[in-house]
Structure 1
């Protein structure tokens, strides 16, 4: 039953309707956060072979 409702879009329609009602009542705070952090690992941390290692 759950999968059928998921495939026909029922759950999404219910969620969108509930979200719209909550937003209209001011119950949702829409905050947007953007993070452009880049994390880089040292070549040896990625499992690369060291020079001379077989």
Structure 2
């Protein structure tokens, strides 16, 4: 079974992302750059909410479970 294909059903569509992205804060110029995109983390949060699985079980293609958690 292809895990990536199963995980992708929780992802935002491009149209949904285009509506959401302008509402998110702009990253500051100082500090360390993020290792994961905001879209990856939001898709990971959506995966967690839809599945009810523990945060630590979040698929790695969504970034770090700890970063998505908070």
Question: RCO higher in 1 or 2 (8 Å CA, sep ≥ 6)?
Answer: 2
Larger helix proportion of the pair: 2
The reply to whether TM is greater than 0.5 is: no
User: What TM-score does the superposition give when structure 1 sets the normalisation length?
Assistant: 0.31
